[in-house]
Amino acid sequence: MLCRLRERGTGRLMRILGVDPGKVRLGLAVSDELGITAQGLPTRTSRGRSADLAHFRALVEEWGVGEVVVGLPRNMDGTMGPQAEAARELARDLGEALGLPVALWDERLTTQAATRVLREVGLSRRRRRDRVDAIAAALILQGYLDRARASRQDGAR
């Protein structure tokens, strides 16, 4: 796990982009430069693979992204269905189009957790729908960041 990427030649820390893939909407989140926290970005309504990849290229430039994490929707028993294969295809396409490392991260129950959080803060169903994908992407990315930080701490011992 990379999490503290440095831009070649500059020493500048790079951010990580998190993606919650869906058929209609793509939830997006970005880390801070230290790889500690994830914050949601506006959700993208898919406009086809080539337009979506162009949007990802723009995000990489705008935010200084050096790695991408794509949520992998496993079934509760750990098996992978058609949505998982679509996520793998997206990850492969992102890696080729962006020239960046792309990791897959188990995203079981992130959408349900995001919905629960939004319900608890009292958002209407309509407003929850507009924000749930970005929060799910932030949960995916935060899980990845937390695991990377724990791995670094274990390695330092």
Residue 89: how many other CB atoms lie within 10 Å: 13
What b/e readout covers 66-84, taking b as 16+ CB neighbours within 10 angstroms?
Answer: bbbbbbbbbeeeeeeeebb
- Residue 150 clears pLDDT 80, i.e. is over it: yes
CA 47 distance to own-chain centroid: 18
| Sequence-ordered list of residues with C-beta below 8 angstroms from that of 113, at least 6 positions apart, any chain | 136, 139
Percent of the chain with pLDDT over 70: 87
- pLDDT, residue 128, reads 64
Phi, psi of 47 (to 5 degrees): -125, 25
pLDDT tens figures, 49-81: 999 999 999 999 999 999 999 999 887 787 888
Instruction: Examine the pLDDT at 38 and tell me if it is beyond 90.
Output: yes
* Per-residue pLDDT, 3: 43
pLDDT at 1: 39
Beta carbons within 10 angstroms of residue 117's beta carbon? 16
Say how far apart CA 15 and CA 6 lie, in whole Å: 9
DSSP code string of 78-142:
S-B-HHHHHHHHHHHHHHHHH-S-EEEEE-TTHHHHHHHHHHHTT--HHHHHHHHHHHHHHHHHH
What is the pLDDT averaged over residues 92-115?
A: 88
Q: pTM for this one?
A: 0.83
